[in-house]
């Protein structure tokens, strides 16, 4: 049976593809020229210094971002690895006396300039008391942290772990670098591999 033209299915034009590259494919000559320009070695000392400066700027920008987000790829060597990440998280999930040590030292120093001997003496005694408590806290922390590292990472070296944790403990929380990735009291993950 014959169809009339009005019964024929209507084919509508297809819209352009979304998500395409949106530009024509470069010719071989253009691609080779672009590759050559990218591979071009700086000839003068000035060009070499500019290229090195750009590389340093890019590297330091990536490192700063990693310090904020905890991205292992761009962290400095001293902060890389699962053991160091565990130490950071272990220290950051606890409140320590060392965190308030710096603000108390500043207040005690200001109290010394007030002119009142009793306030100055109070600031000094408070500072000494906090230093002793912080030292005891660090010693106790050392034994607990090393036992936890041995349990979680049996084949890892413990060299430098106490110093790394101690330095992090005495820093004010919002000034720590890399930034804390856990909150105080938060449960730590079971694995750090």
Please give the pLDDT value at position 57.
Answer: 92
- Whole-angstrom CA distances from 4 to 7, 11, 67 are 5, 16, 72
Q: Which residues of 137-171 are buried (b: 16+ CB within 10 A; e: fewer)?
A: bbeebeeebeeebeebbeeeeeeebbebbbebbbb
Torsion of CA 179, 142, 79, 177, to 10 degrees: 20
Q: Is residue 158 part of a domain?
A: yes
How far is residue 122's CA from residue 99's CA, in Å, rounded to a whole number?
20
The Cα–Cα gap between 82 and 17 comes to 44
Residues 64 and 82 in one domain: no
Q: Which residues contact 114 (CB under 8 A, 6 or more apart)?
A: 120
pLDDT per residue as tens digits for the range 88-135: 999 999 988 888 888 888 888 888 888 888 888 888 898 899 889 999
- Does 103 lie in the same domain as 83? yes
Per-residue pLDDT band for 144 (boundaries 50, 70, 90) equals very high
What is the tens place of the pLDDT at every residue in 22-46? 788 889 999 988 888 777 777 788 8
Note the pLDDT of residue 71.
79
Token pair in block for residue 35: 């590759």
Assess whether 136 and 149 both reside in one domain.
yes
In the predicted structure, residue 187 carries a pLDDT above the cut 60: yes
pLDDT for residue 3 is more than 60: no
**Do 115 and 52 belong together in one domain?**
no
Q: Is residue 28 part of a domain?
A: no
Instruction: Give yes or no for a contact between 87 and 145, defined as CB atoms under 8 angstroms apart.
Output: yes
What is the structure's pLDDT at 147?
Answer: 94
Domain that holds residue 157: 76-175
Q: How many domains does the chain have?
A: 2
CB 176 within 8 A of CB 168: yes
Is pLDDT above 70 for 6? no
Q: Name residue, tokens 């804390």.
A: 180
Is the CB of residue 164 less than 8 Å from the CB of residue 78?
A: yes
First vs last Cα of the chain: how many Å apart? 72
Q: Does 149 have pLDDT greater than 90?
A: yes
pLDDT level of residue 11 (50, 70, 90 thresholds): low
Structure confidence at residue 8 as a pLDDT band (50, 70, 90): low
Record the tokens describing residue 51, joined without a space: 């290229």
How high does pLDDT run on average in the chain?
84
């Amino acid at each position: 049976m014959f169809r009339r033209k009005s019964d024929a299915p209507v084919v509508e034009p297809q819209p352009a593809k979304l998500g395409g590259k949106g530009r024509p494919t470069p010719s071989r000559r253009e691609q080779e020229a672009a590759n050559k320009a990218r591979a071009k070695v700086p000839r003068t000392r000035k060009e070499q210094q500019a290229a090195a400066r750009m590389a340093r700027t890019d590297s330091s920008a990536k490192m700063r971002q990693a310090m904020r987000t905890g991205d292992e790829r761009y962290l400095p060597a001293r902060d890389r690895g699962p053991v160091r990440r565990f130490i950071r998280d272990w220290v950051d999930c606890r409140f320590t006396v060392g965190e308030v040590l710096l603000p108390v030292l500043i207040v005690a120093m200001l109290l010394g300039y007030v002119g009142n001997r009793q306030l100055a003496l109070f600031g000094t005694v408070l500072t000494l008391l906090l230093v002793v408590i912080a030292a005891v806290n660090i010693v106790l922390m050392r034994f607990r942290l090393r036992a936890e590292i041995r349990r979680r990472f049996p084949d890892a070296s413990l060299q430098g772990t106490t110093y790394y944790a101690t330095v992090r403990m005495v820093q004010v929380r919002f000034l720590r670098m890399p930034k804390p990735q856990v909150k105080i009291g938060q449960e730590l993950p079971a694995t750090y591999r």
